[in-house]
Amino acid sequence: MNKIAILDCSYNNSTQISNITNLLSDFLTSNQVNVQIISIHKSRIASCNECKICMQKNTCTPQKCFHHDEMDDIMDAIEDNDAFIFLSDTNSIFSSNDVFHKFSKRLAGYYYWPFGTKSSTHRKIIHDKTSVLINYNTTLGLFNKSYTTSLKQLETASIAVGADPVATLTIKPSKKADDLINEYYKEIEFCAYKLLRSLKKAS
């Protein structure tokens, strides 16, 4: 059975965010997929101090931080799953929220960057996994550039773990939780469907 992890990197885990993850989980589970929802905001993750210790060993296996906090378990889950849904909310212009920012910086162990060299090398030479990127954007269309910037940040995290995005979706909040699901129901399920299709093509 295929395994898909929903990486919930939202800062404000609102009812609408929960409804989105529940809809995705229900759809995937009904299609015989093992779904794991990982709530990053609930995880004990230390901030990266950019020491680069995790980037020194020359291996294709991602290296864990010396902090050995719950990011270790998240990295194990990432390696164990076949595909991902990266979900994050954006409530500031052109920048990720603090939860996603902390999580993404701790993906440094997916790169090899020995001291004294100018640039890093991606450990995941072969991208054999796929992803869907969902941006819950509360800027309400005032700054459309924030849509593409936020999705680009999600894409960078996805590429880091060796997963190529097959679909992206920006969702704007609704005044009522049910209104959001009714409005985006087909788009959310279509993204999940594309992720399922990518798994079938890989198998």
What CATH number is associated with residue 189? 3.40.50.360
35-44, 47-56, 85-94, 157-166: least confidently modelled range: 85-94
Number of Cβ atoms within 10 Å of the Cβ of 177: 16
User: For residue 179, what are the contacts with CB-CB under 8 A and spacing of at least 6?
Assistant: none
The domain of 87 spans: 3-202
Query: Mean pLDDT over residues 61-75, rounded?
Result: 96
What's the pLDDT at 105?
Answer: 96
Residue 57 pLDDT more than 70?
Answer: yes
What's the pLDDT at 4?
Answer: 98
Above pLDDT 70, what percent of the chain?
93
The structural domain count of the chain equals 1
Measured between alpha carbons, how far is 169 from 54 in angstroms, rounded to an integer?
A: 32
What's the pLDDT at 203?
Answer: 64
β-strand pairing of 111-112 with 121-122: antiparallel
12-21, 24-33, 68-77, 158-167: least confidently modelled range: 12-21
Measured between alpha carbons, how far is 177 from 10 in angstroms, rounded to an integer?
A: 16
pLDDT band of 85, cuts 50, 70, 90? very high
| pLDDT (tens digit per residue) in 120-137 | 999 998 899 999 999 988
The four Cα atoms 178, 88, 155, 141 give a dihedral, to 10 degrees, of 70
| pLDDT (tens digit per residue) in 176-201 | 777 888 899 999 999 999 999 999 77
Q: What is the DSSP letter of 36?
A: E
Measured between alpha carbons, how far is 179 from 185 in angstroms, rounded to an integer?
A: 10
